[in-house]
Amino acid sequence: MRIATITNWAYGATVCLTIASGIVMLMASNADNVERKAVEQRQVFDQLTEDVETDAWALSDLARLYVVNKDPDVLTEYRQKETSLKTIEHRLAKLKDNGATGEELALLHEGLQVIDELQDEQQTALASIARGEETRAVQLLYGKPYEQELDRVQNQIDHFRQLLDRRAHAAVEEATNTSRTLRTLSEVMVGATALLFLFVLGFILKRRVLRPVVRLSDVVHRLASQDYAVEPPNFNQIDEIGDMAQAIRIFRENGLVRQRLEKERDADWAIRELLARMTQRLQGCESFTDVINVAQLFAPNIAPGIAGRLYILDHDPWQMRCAAQWLSPQGEDSPFHPDDCWAVRRGQSHPPSNEAPDIACYHLPESCSGQSLCVPLIAQGEAIGLLSFQGITSETAPSRAYLELMAEALGLALANQRLRDALLEKALYDPLTGLRNRHHLDDTLRTQMSQAMRNDEPVSCLMIDIDYFKNINDRFGHEAGDQVIKSVATIVQRAVHNSGLAFRYGGEEFLALLSGANEEEAHRCATEIYNGVHELSLRYGLSEIGPVDVSIGIASYPEHAQGDNLLRAADVALYRAKELGRSRIVSFGMLEAG
Report pLDDT for 459: 93
Q: Is 86's pLDDT higher than 60?
A: no
Greatest mean pLDDT among 158-167, 375-384, 483-492: 483-492
Per residue in 426-448, pLDDT (tens digit) is: 767 888 888 888 877 888 888 88
DSSP summary character for residue 87:
P
Q: Is 382's pLDDT higher than 90?
A: no
Nearest to 53 by CA among 26, 91, 106, 17: 91
Per residue in 5-33, pLDDT (tens digit) is: 666 666 676 777 677 777 766 666 666 66
Per residue in 315-328, pLDDT (tens digit) is: 888 999 999 999 88
Instruction: Name residue 166's beta-bridge partners.
Output: none
Report pLDDT for 103: 72
Angle between helices 102-130 and 72-84 (to 10 degrees): 160
∠ CA 54-56-59, nearest 5°, is 105
Q: Is 586's pLDDT higher than 90?
A: yes
Residue 310 in contact with residue 410, Cβ under 8 Å?
yes
For residue 209, name the pLDDT band (cuts at 50, 70, 90).
low
Nearest to 28 by CA among 155, 199, 159, 183: 183
Q: Is 475's pLDDT higher than 80?
A: yes
Residue 506 in contact with residue 484, Cβ under 8 Å?
no
In 3-state terms, what secondary structure has residue 555? strand
Nearest to 7 by CA among 238, 201, 213, 190: 201
Q: What percent of the chain has pLDDT over 90?
A: 22
User: Between 178 and 503, whose confidence is greater?
Assistant: 503
In 3-state terms, what secondary structure has residue 133? coil
Give me the phi and psi of 322, to 5 degrees please: -70, 120
User: Between 565 and 75, whose confidence is greater?
Assistant: 565
Q: Is 97's pLDDT higher than 60?
A: no
Radius of gyration of the chain (CA): 50
Question: Residues 284-312: what's their mean pLDDT?
Answer: 88
Report pLDDT for 578: 92
In 3-state terms, what secondary structure has residue 336? strand
Report pLDDT for 92: 54
For residue 424, name the pLDDT band (cuts at 50, 70, 90).
low
User: Between 100 and 417, whose confidence is greater?
Assistant: 417
Report pLDDT for 11: 65
d(CA 96, CA 100): 5
d(CA 163, CA 185): 34
Q: What percent of the chain has pLDDT over 70?
A: 83
**Which regions of 169-317 does DSSP assign to beta strands (E)?**
307-315
Q: Is 511's pLDDT higher than 90?
A: yes
Q: Is 551's pLDDT higher than 90?
A: yes
User: Between 199 and 379, whose confidence is greater?
Assistant: 379
Mean pLDDT of the chain: 81
Lowest model confidence (mean pLDDT) among 9-18, 241-250, 325-334 = 9-18
